[in-house]
Amino acid sequence: MKFTAFFFMLYAILPLGYPMGKDSIVSVMHDADGGARSPENGIFQADPTIFYHDGYYYLYGTNGDGDQQLGFKVYKSEDLKHWQGPIGAKAGFALIQEDVFGSTGFWAPQVWSEQGKFYMAYTAGEKIAIAVSDSPIGPFKQNVPKTLMEGGKQIDPYVFRDNDGKKYLFHVRLTEGNRIFVAELKDDYSGIKEETLKECLHAELPWENTAGSSWPVSEGPTVLRQGKRYYMFYSANDFRNKDYAVGVAVAENVFGPWKKIETNPLLSQNNSGFSGTGHGDLFQKGKQWYYICHTHFSEQQVAPRRTAIVPVDLVSSEGSGRMTPRFDSAKFRLLETEDKSASSLDVAFGDPFILYDKPSDQYYLYGTGGTENGFIAYSSKDLIQWKEVGKVYDGRQPKGWGTKDFWAPEVYLVNDKYYMYYSAHWKENPGDKLENYRIGVAVADNPAGPFLDLTGKPLFDPGYPIIDANVFRDTDGKNYLFYSRCCYEHPVASEIADWAKSKWGYKDIEESWVYGVELDSSMQQVIGRPELLIRPPLKMNDKQSEWESRSVSSGEINRRWTEGSFLLKAKGQYYMMYSANYFAGANYAVGYATSTSPLGRYSKSETNPIIQKNTDHGGVISGTGHNSIFKDRDGKLRCIYHGRTTKTGDKRIVFIRDIRFNKDNQLQIESE
């Protein structure tokens, strides 16, 4: 429990946490120092709580980012400044309604640990319940969905463990207003000891009801013990009131009587600088105490409420032996997630490719998406700030041969000309094939285009649909084209196919394979016949089978992909990277294989996959794949790929990571 109960018991008190989304917000917030803050990466968790575990601070709260009340998200930080999330075990959620009591109104969670288990007390449907998990990121569950107490309406639970080991539930009961009560808990958290139930306090002072409401509100209790005294932090006024604020009451017994500090409120819009400041929780980092709370979104708008943090000092009052909490409001700040989810770019592209153009000393980013019947591009000086340069290729041109599905462009500078290789649906389709994809090449004098088709037809026709062109120029001057044969009308027999057909009732298992072929010096003609280079494994016991067959083994779809190939020469050998699994699914991932020649025999790496989803481990990214490699202006190798996050949903966005080779010359993607 955040056992903020005993004598500076740091480890019993502290939090667990992780990452988010947002409403259709256009406003700009201001920090306490007056500086403008964008809401884009803000954390929108009301009634927040923080739990510390194993080097991380975990943040939970009432969702306010546009999601329905489906449960509780969790965010995570090592230093209280850089937050990741949401990282909950179920699409960012640590608890979801299907696993516990409640169907709506999920409010005010609190998390603690005890004997290797993690507990969450929470409100749902104006009832209190407790769920359990093996991890701070969940999933928190109840074997039997049930409430902690019968009768009446209760909200805002706070579990407190005293020095003698007894556990107490501070909470709010809706009776003639929101009133704060306490009761001793049963040791197994199955309920309260009804005979111990007692009211602690209710709103009765002018600052606690500035609107003169007939339903006065006191809520959000958090309790701390220091020496012989108990300190209760609570909030008063309706949460929609700008005067929502925090006060403190003191008692020498957990059941009271509770005496309110004369200088209340101790935290309000007057010293925080934000309307609606309140309903938080105490926790400690080292010897410093902090209060995590929420504020209104803006002066004019209550929701989504934003999460904020402020240091709290416990100052001794002369002669009384009592501590007086003092909020360091000069350090009051709003919380934000880390910069764009693990070095992602604010560009909605699939199949990304970056060209560093030395003549202009600029980077150009190409990819799938952003326009119809062609491609747009972005430019950048620093790989951080990107500017759209407009449409660089339009399929509706005199010699255009494609009709739709313009995918995966790559651009190369050769002899002062820029060559774009891309995939599209070929208009010559006498068999009316559903997938009639081919690869074309267009040429421009500038990386920003316009790129023009020269022949009015694809580069070549192998007799089956192909996509994902990758061009490689070797050190001996030879050129090569690599591509993927589509799954379409390509059923393949294998042990895995037999298993999947038996398991899921599929008629066939279709596959895509990677091929390579030599290009002539004009970069527009193929030489010889294509060679099959990489395909999905055939045997169940193949080490690559598990990760390359996830879309089939999970019953997601009856296809296995090998696509998005990219060839790199390094360390005296050739590294071919490729993507496997359903491109629109969470399991899309990247592996690589090595060879001694571009069209030679490739051996897959035992370290595969080297890029994959991290949602199984508390992260927010899935659907990672179709990468390419580029050198920056300093000659450093970088990997670019697309993925999806819990925030972006189905929209693919671009990520850039560094690559390196270990002592065994294994290619690795550096994680952050």
- Catalytic hit among 65, 518, 548, 563: 563
**What's the CA angle centered on 139, arms 137 and 141, to 5 degrees?**
135
Query: Strand order of the sheet with strand 245-251?
Result: 218-226, 229-236, 245-251, 259-260
Judge whether 367 and 642 are in contact, CB under 8 Å: yes
351 is catalytic: yes
Residue type (1 letter), 118: F
Q: Where are the beta strands (DSSP E) in 115-226?
A: 117-124, 127-133, 154-161, 167-174, 178-184, 198-201, 218-226
Residue type, 161: R
Cis peptide before 325 (omega within 30 of 0): no
* Helix (H) or strand (E) segment spanning residue 191: none
Burial class (CB in 10 A: 0-12, 13-18, 19+), 359: exposed
Distances (CA, A) of 233 to 171, 192, 225, 261, 628: 12, 22, 11, 10, 53
Pairing of strands 154-161, 127-133: unpaired
What count of residues does the chain have? Answer: 672
Q: Considering just the CA atoms, what is the radius of gyration of the chain in Å?
A: 30
Q: Which two tokens stand for residue 359?
A: 């003549």
Measured at the CA of 340, the angle between CA 337 and CA 342, to 5 degrees, comes to 90
Q: Supply 254's token pair.
A: 């957990």
Q: Which of 281, 336, 351, 410 is catalytic?
A: 351
Could you give the CA distance from residue 160 to residue 157 in angstroms, rounded to a whole number?
Answer: 10
Under DSSP, is residue 207 helix (H, G, I), strand (E, B) or coil?
helix
DSSP state of 113: E
- Whose structure tokens read 């009133």? 179
Instruction: Provide the token pair at 386.
Output: 């990107």
Could you confirm whether 563 is annotated as catalytic?
yes
Sequence-distant (≥ 6) Cβ neighbours of residue 243 within 8 angstroms: 207, 210, 211, 237, 268, 269
Phi-psi label, residue 322: left if phi above 0, alpha if psi -120 to 50, beta otherwise: beta
- Which amino acid does the sequence have at 312? V
* 3-class DSSP assignment, residue 182: strand
Which three-class secondary structure state does DSSP give residue 498? Answer: helix
Look at residue 302 and give its three-state secondary structure: coil
Q: How far apart are CA 23 and CA 199, in angstroms?
A: 38
Question: Active-site positions?
Answer: 351, 563
